[in-house]
Amino acid sequence: MKTINIAREFSRHPIGRFLADSDTSGQAFREQLLLPALRDSDGVVAIILDEVAGLPSSFMDEAFAGLVRYEGYTAPELRRRLKFEYAQKWRETYEGEIWGYIEDEENEQRPVAMAM
Amino acid sequence: MEVGSTLLSGFVGGLLGAGTKEFVAFFFHEIGRRRAEQDAIESELLSKITEARDFAIVHWSEAENAQGAKVRAGQIVGRIHYCASLYPELFESTLEEKRRTDVLFQDFRKTLTGGDFGVVARPAQPEKTTEIEMATYELKSQIRLGKIRCRKRFPNLSRKKF
């Protein structure tokens, strides 16, 4: 299982959506860490949310829903491949919001399949 | 023998009576302590939510490249993060209220920091103020009413640090 610790390997305070916005944007996280980890194997990628000092919604949407929007992943596939970990239970709020963005994007991309 | 038995039962009865009194006093003391804790959490939470809203209204009313925008973005994200760590403490005894608040809290964060938040090309969007106000009041209302509904249930006396 691959592990990505956002705070230690990327930034404690990510911000921005696109590469043009900042070095710690959602697109930067997706392209530099998330996609390589997902492509490297078929296994689970664990995302550690501890120590991050806040995640803006635009970052979460771009980083994670971007996998569906631009990279062809499906929500069920990501449910199998991504796992969020945190020592402090209250950080589950970020996980809930991220899955919401992924599901919303899935509904946008594949409305017919979801309706069935 | 009979005198001894009467004395013993009187002694045991006295002990039980004193114990019950102590227990009842402790029980109400703990309820009061827990309520004071909840009031402090609620007050802090509502205050930081209001501050995040105030910063967000200024932030969205100006372009993303305006002077001080990066600092304001950090003030918004930091306050929302802090609030995210606080509100579960308020609803530890009822999952239903916690879930209701989860939904509104995520809406609040999405409204304040979603869309083009942090996108350097974002123009000023003062029209977003109404959306920010609505998300803020819906969340604050749930926090206030949720706490009241929690108190109508059996009190949770577990010790929590705030």
Closest partner CB to B118 (pick from A15, A91, A100): A15
Return the CA Rg of chain A.
13
From chain A, which residues contact B within 8 Å (Cβ)? 13, 15-18, 20-22, 25, 53-59, 61, 88-91, 93-94, 96-97, 100
Which pLDDT does position B94 carry in this prediction?
A: 85
Shortest alpha-carbon distance between residue A88 and chain B (Å): 9
3-class secondary structure for chain A? CEEEEHHHHHCCCCCCCCCCCCCCCHHHHHHHHHHHHHHHCCCCEEEECCCCCCCCHHHHHHHHHHHHHCCCCCHHHHHHHEEEECCCHHHHHHHHHHHHHHHHHHHHHCHHHHHC
CB pair distance less than 8 Å for B105 and A93: yes
CB contact under 8 A, B119 and A18: yes
Q: At B67, is the secondary structure helix, strand, or coil?
A: coil
Q: Calculate mean pLDDT across residues B82-94.
A: 91
Is the pLDDT at A114 greater than 60? The verdict is no
User: In which band, very low, low, confident or very high, does the pLDDT at A47 lie, cut at 50, 70 and 90?
Assistant: very high
Name the residue among A16, A96, A23 with its Cα closest to residue A56: A16
pLDDT band at B84 (very low <50, low <70, confident <90, very high): very high
pLDDT tens digit sequence for A3-34: 999 999 999 999 999 999 999 999 999 999 99
- Asked whether the beta carbons of residue B77 and residue A91 sit closer than 8 angstroms, the reply is no
Distance to chain B for A18, nearest Cα, Å: 7
Q: Which chain B residue shows the shortest CA-CA distance from A97? A: B106
Which pLDDT belongs to residue B137? Answer: 98
Nearest CA in chain A to B92: A90
Q: What is the pLDDT of residues B17-71, one digit of tens each?
A: 778 878 777 777 777 888 888 899 999 999 999 999 999 999 999 999 999 999 9
**Rounded to an integer, what distance in angstroms lies between the CA atom of residue B27 and that of residue B24?**
5
| Residue of chain A whose Cα is closest to the Cα of B106 | A97
Asked if the model's pLDDT at residue B160 lies above 60, the reply is no
CA Rg, chain B, in Å?
A: 25
Weakest-pLDDT range from A27-31, A68-72, B89-93, B107-111 = B89-93
Question: Can you give the pTM of this predicted structure?
Answer: 0.86
Rounded to 5 degrees, φ, ψ at B120 are -60, -30
Closest CA to A91 of B57, B71, B83: B83
CA distance A34 to chain B (A): 20
